[in-house]
Amino acid sequence: MKLMKKVLWLLLLLAIVVAGSLYWLGTRDDASTGPAAAAADGASLIERGRYLALAGNCMACHTSRGGKALAGGTPIPTPFGTVYGPNITPDDKTGIGGWTADDFWQALHNGKSRDGTLLYPAFPYTEYTRVTRGDSDALFAYLRSVTPVSQPNRPPELDFPYDQRALLAAWRALYFKPGVQEPDASQSVQWNRGRYLVEGLGHCAACHTPRNSLGATRSADALTGGLIPVLDWYAPPLTNDMRTGMGRWTAQDIATLLKTGISKHSTVSGPMAEVVLGSTQHLTDEDALAIGVYIKSLPATPASSDRPTAAAAPAAIELGGKIYRQQCVQCHQSEGEGSGSAWPALAGNPTVTAPSPVNVIRMVLDGGYAPATASNPRPHGMPPFGQLLNDNDIAMLVTYIRNSWGNEAGGVTPLEVKRARAASTLN
């Protein structure tokens, strides 16, 4: 009995030591806050910050539908519950009016609020930590210039035990290390700029990298595509695999998609359409092309997928082909080559060949439009077929599309269509 008590005490002591170590690792600052950027002309600093806020798509999480700009309240659903974007207007009581540039830098770089509270990683500080101090100060200057709005922040609604904020210390110790991204001297200025935008301010990994069971991005599968939790949309790979990624694209094709929402290879839909509308269409041509250059330098890593590839039954392909010729061929053409920029090609389209068929299914169900951008103010749309075709029809049609004209993406089941239909109704 005495031996058992000693063992239990030793185990308890070990747990305390481990917990303390994790807490220290999760709360300490692994990189100093660094010196504030040298003072610049106020107007030019604010304008630079405005551009950076667009590039980082700050409005998406900090402006609720129908609400005041940057006043927060936007629900951000996660597998662990819902968090709400905070008020980042310069209101003294409910916003960041009482913050300093150092406080703001701490939030972006270290994932901590003004009082040291650990922030939930729904705020992508895991990527924003790469933002330079100069850009942080410009962002802060811009946010200080917007109209203050008195709107209290809404507390997160998370399931137990994820509502215990102290546990973030352990999560951070495992998955987060702050550090500004240093330029790679072996690469061009353009490449380094693209990398900075993709991996830092643009936080592309937040959607395009799969996540583990604790919500952390799987670094070994960086940018290999992933299902966006709760929203049930798939962010396709940004790697250069010829079948599932960007292997057929040029850097200019990528830049065009970011600026207009359309390209000869694909058209954005779902959450990415919102990103183009609110963020990437406002990029300079130089920054959009820099992103394309960096993405084209990524390896040809195949898409990451937890979905087993189902064989495409010949009968399903045959029947799906009949539906395609009845409903789709007029716009997307007999060989899936599309028609100019109005109707995208389906052959070699990474949205079509993705491991998950959910995006294609939802487009067939609900139709949709590319975002109306300055460069493409009147985009062509696709009508919905969810009322015309049943789940079996859509499963066969999508199976045909995913396995024709050189596409080899496997079959789709009526159950997958049923689930997508239900998700579409909820969202």
Q: Return the pLDDT at 427.
A: 56
* pLDDT (tens digit per residue) in 49-70: 999 999 999 999 999 999 999 9
Q: Return the pLDDT at 19.
A: 44
Q: Return the pLDDT at 41.
A: 75
Q: Return the pLDDT at 244.
A: 86
Q: Return the pLDDT at 33.
A: 52
> Alpha-carbon Rg of the chain, whole angstroms?
24
Q: Return the pLDDT at 339.
A: 86
Q: Return the pLDDT at 340.
A: 78
Give percent of the chain with pLDDT exceeding 70: 89
Q: Return the pLDDT at 416.
A: 93
Q: Return the pLDDT at 101.
A: 97
Q: Return the pLDDT at 281.
A: 97
pTM beyond 0.85: the answer is yes
Yes or no: say if 347 and 242 are a contact pair by the CB < 8 Å rule.
no
Q: Return the pLDDT at 168.
A: 96
Over 90: is that where the pLDDT of 400 sits?
yes
Over 90: is that where the pLDDT of 412 sits?
yes
Q: Label the pairing between strands 157-158 and 226-228.
A: unpaired
Over 70: is that where the pLDDT of 413 sits?
yes
CA atoms of 106 and 33, how far apart (whole Å)? 7
Which residues contact residue 400 at a Cβ distance below 8 angstroms, ignoring those fewer than 6 apart? 316, 317, 319, 320, 321, 323, 324
* pLDDT (tens digit per residue) in 138-153: 999 999 999 999 999 9
Q: Return the pLDDT at 275.
A: 97
Mean pLDDT of the chain: 89
* pLDDT (tens digit per residue) in 278-299: 999 999 999 999 999 999 999 9
Least confident of 33-47, 101-115, 124-138: 33-47
Least confident of 149-163, 184-198, 276-290, 413-427: 413-427
* pLDDT (tens digit per residue) in 216-251: 999 999 999 999 988 889 999 999 998 888 999 999
31 versus 270: the higher-pLDDT residue is 270
Tokens 């959450």 label which residue?
Answer: 271
Q: Return the pLDDT at 18.
A: 43
Q: Return the pLDDT at 2.
A: 44
Over 50: is that where the pLDDT of 331 sits?
yes
Helix 358-366 crosses helix 391-401 at what angle (to 10 degrees)? 130
Yes or no: say if 66 and 57 are a contact pair by the CB < 8 Å rule.
no
Over 50: is that where the pLDDT of 22 sits?
no
Over 90: is that where the pLDDT of 253 sits?
yes
